[in-house]
């Protein structure tokens, strides 16, 4: 029996307590909604606590989901430099892969693949999350390993499957480009350094927010922004208990949850891998087996396939898997479609997103 199987069997002992706990939570969905409202009011995502924004304009509404700010002010020079670096294939060891390769801005900030392809054709082992609205997440990566966009950016650059490059190789490459040397000297007193490369990219990532979705307009008071079908989908989203995890400004991104509370998702799917162990890979705490950061549902209609393993190809499939394994429910086709219609109202605005996506 290998290590993963041993950990899996130990984890089964925790299932009964977790199932009972989830039944209790589902029975108290209304209370969970109230807690969600309270949580989103007091909780501020880690990247935002670092005072990296020059100005951020927010509003509070009496709903478990909050609208994205219409305006965020950032250093324009650093944003422009970060954007250039985001599109730069020289950030990879083979000079072929850029951040954009796995996070296409016209595809919801992801790449619509189960697993992304990195340097030298290497295939990753986990689904690439969207970069849109990542500044509003309290935790980054599926296992929540990173607390800041700077830490996340550094890890991706050095990840042997993603960009696969070390600073002693990357910095000389960039220093041979006069435009980069000039831009860094203009925006940073100490010029082109590893810290400043990361800062510029992270600043650009903070600019990738998608405000003014139809649902946000509804939250701000425009009751005609979503139709009766979509409102019913939102009601069901709350009534079934989805909102107990998917709440706050990013409709997720601020909590951890076990994947498979009301059923054994991984046993049913088969072929358990190390990545499936989730947050356990960070904490080595057996209670964190199969625990993942709850993903944001902003722009979710654009970011298929879904889950860390990219196993759900459609929103309908993802909703039904969540209902079965997280809530212990079987949804009717009608209710599933109503929730899908609500989720489509979460697509926001950005110059890279086509108007037809909303």
**What's the CA dihedral at 291, 293, 294, 298 to 10 degrees?**
-160
Q: Which two tokens stand for residue 119?
A: 């340097």
242 known member of a binding site: yes
| Alpha carbon distance 199, 34 (integer Å) | 37
- C-alpha span between 152 and 138 (Å, rounded): 12
- Token representation of residue 114: 């189960």
308 is in an annotated binding site: no
Q: Is 350 annotated as a binding residue?
A: no
Q: Where are the beta strands (DSSP E) in 273-349?
A: 291-293
8 A C-beta contact, residue 109 and residue 299:
yes
Q: Is 48 annotated as a binding residue?
A: no
**Nearest in space to 250 (alpha carbons), one of 64, 35, 82:** 64
- The Cα–Cα gap between 82 and 76 comes to 10
Cβ atoms of 128 and 110 closer than 8 Å: yes
Cα–Cα dist 153/157, whole Å: 6
Distance, CA of 236 to CA of 26 (rounded, Å): 13
Could you say which DSSP state residue 324 is in?
Answer: I
Q: Are strands 72-73 and 55-56 parallel, antiparallel or unpaired?
A: antiparallel
Please count the other Cβ atoms lying within 10 Å of the Cβ belonging to residue 213.
Answer: 23
99 is in an annotated binding site: yes
Contact present, 83 and 204 (Cβ < 8 Å): yes
| Strand extents, DSSP E, 97-191 | none
Which residues does the annotation place in the binding site for heme c? 99, 102-103, 242, 245-246, 322
Which residues does the annotation place in the binding site? 99, 102-103, 242, 245-246, 322
């Amino acid at each position: 029996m290998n290590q993963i199987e041993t950990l899996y069997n130990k984890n089964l002992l925790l299932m009964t307590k977790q199932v009972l706990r989830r039944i209790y939570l589902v029975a108290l969905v209304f209370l969970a909604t109230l807690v969600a409202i309270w949580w989103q009011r007091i909780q501020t995502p880690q990247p935002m606590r670092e005072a990296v924004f020059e100005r951020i304009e927010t509003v509070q509404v009496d709903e478990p989901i909050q609208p994205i700010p219409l305006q965020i002010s950032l250093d324009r020079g650093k944003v422009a430099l970060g954007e250039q670096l985001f599109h730069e294939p020289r950030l990879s060891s083979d000079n072929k892969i850029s951040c954009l390769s796995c996070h296409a801005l016209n595809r919801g900030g992801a790449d619509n693949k189960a697993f992304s392809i990195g340097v030298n054709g290497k295939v990753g082992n986990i689904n690439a999350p969207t970069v849109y609205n990542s500044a509003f997440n309290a935790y980054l990566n599926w296992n929540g390993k990173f607390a800041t966009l700077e830490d996340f950016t550094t890890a991706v650059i050095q990840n042997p499957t993603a960009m696969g490059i070390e600073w002693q190789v990357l910095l000389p490459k960039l220093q041979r480009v006069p435009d980069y040397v000039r831009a860094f000297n203009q925006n940073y007193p100490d010029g082109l350094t590893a810290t400043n490369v990361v800062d510029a990219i992270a600043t650009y990532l903070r600019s990738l927010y998608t405000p003014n979705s139809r649902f946000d307009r509804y939250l701000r008071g425009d009751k005609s922004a979503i139709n009766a079908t979509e409102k019913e989908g939102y009601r069901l989203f709350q009534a079934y208990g989805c909102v107990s995890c998917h709440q706050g400004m990013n409709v997720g991104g601020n909590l951890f949850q076990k994947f498979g509370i009301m059923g054994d998702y991984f046993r049913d799917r088969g072929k358990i891998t190390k990545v499936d162990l989730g947050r356990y890979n960070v904490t080595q705490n057996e209670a964190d087996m199969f625990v993942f950061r709850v993903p944001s549902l902003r722009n979710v209609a654009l970011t298929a396939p879904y889950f860390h393993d990219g196993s759900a190809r459609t929103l309908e499939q993802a909703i039904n898997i969540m209902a079965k394994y997280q809530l212990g429910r079987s949804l009717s086709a009608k209710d599933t479609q109503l929730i899908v219609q609500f989720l489509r109202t979460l697509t926001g605005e950005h110059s890279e997103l086509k108007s037809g996506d909303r």
